[in-house]
Amino acid sequence: MTDSTPAATPESVLTLRELAVSFGGNHVLRSVDLEVPTGFTGLVGPNGAGKTTVFNVVSGYVRAAGGDVRLGGETLIGVAPDAIARRGVGRTFQTPKLVAGISVVENVMLGLDGRAGPLAHLRAIAGSRRDSRPARERSLDLLERFGIVEYANEEASALPLATQKIVEVARALIASPRLVLLDEPAAGLGAEDVEAMVAPLVELAADNDLAVVIIEHDLALVSRLCPRLAVLHQGGVIALGTPAEVLAQPEVVDAYLGAGFAAVGP
C-alpha cells in the first residue's frame, strides 16, 4: 500500500485495510482496501473473486493472513463470530442457514444471541434460544414488516426458498446491527419475491442508519440499490464508484461483464 491510501473517515462503518487471505498457498484475497459508509454498497465480481471470503473474514469465520478489519474504530481480527455479531454485524448466506425443527419466529430470535450461522453446534443452540416476550415481539414485528408474519409458527426449513431468505434477512436485522452483509439474497428468486425482500430492507436501513454490503450477480438490482459499487477481481478491488462510473470502466467490462454488459446497461 502507498502513502496515498486514504485514512478511515468518521463516516466509515467498516474499514478493510490490506486484507489478505490464503488457502493452501492460494491467494484468495490480495491487499483489499475498502471503506463502507452507511447506506448500500454493492460488492460484485466474477465467481471465485473472493467476495464471500471477504464476508467470512468480516464475520469471523475465516482468519485473515494479513491486514485489518475495523468496525468503527475497533478491530475484528481474532474476534470470535458470536462476539462480532454482538458488536453489530449481521449477515446472511448464499444458502439460508436456518435451524430445522424450530419455527420461523424462533429462528429470527436466534439472531439476538449473535450465534446464528454455519456452526456445527447450531442445532444445540436452539435449545437455549431466548423466549422473552420482548424478543418474540421484536421478531414478530420484523416478520410483519417483511410481510411473512403468517408463517411465524411454521417450521422455517420447510418453507419455500424465497421465504427462507427473508427469514434470514430478518434474523440478521433483529439485534439492531450497525453493519449487515447480504450474500446473494436475490439468487434464485422471482421479481415479486425480490421486491418483497428489498422494499422493507431499504426502509429499515434508512430508519436505522445501517451500512449494508450486498453481494449480488443481478447488476440491475445492485445498481438500483447501491450508490457505491466495488468490483473484486482476482482477490483485489479493481474499481470503486457509482454504478455508472464502475460499469463503464473497460477493465471491469473485460474482467467481469463481458458480452453481458449490454444487457444491463441503460
Domain chopping of the chain, boundaries: 1-88+177-266, 94-175
In the predicted model, what is the mean pLDDT of residues 110-124?
Answer: 57
In the predicted model, what is the mean pLDDT of residues 161-178?
Answer: 95
pTM here is 0.87
pLDDT, tens digit, 9 for 90 and up, residues 221-254: 999 999 999 999 988 999 999 999 998 888 888 8
Q: Which CATH architecture has domain 94-175?
A: 3-Layer(aba) Sandwich (3.40)
Same fold, 1-88+177-266 and 94-175: yes
Residue 6's pLDDT band, with cuts at 50, 70 and 90, is very low
In the predicted model, what is the mean pLDDT of residues 120-143?
Answer: 67
For residue 149, report the phi and psi dihedrals to the nearest 5 degrees.
-65, -25
**Residue listed under C-alpha cell 425482500:** 197
Query: For residue 183, what are the contacts with CB-CB under 8 A and spacing of at least 6?
Result: 51, 52, 55, 91, 92, 93, 94, 215
- Chain mean pLDDT for the chain: 86
DSSP-derived 3-state class of residue 197: helix
Dist. CA 159–CA 49, nearest whole Å: 31
Nearest residue to 14 via CA among 61, 77, 62: 77
Residue 114's pLDDT band, with cuts at 50, 70 and 90, is low
DSSP-derived 3-state class of residue 125: helix
Q: What is the pLDDT of residue 256?
A: 67
Pick the CATH number of 1-88+177-266 from 3.30.200.20, 3.40.50.620, 3.40.50.970, 3.40.50.300: 3.40.50.300
Above 50 in pLDDT, residue 121?
Answer: no
**Residue listed under C-alpha cell 450474500:** 183
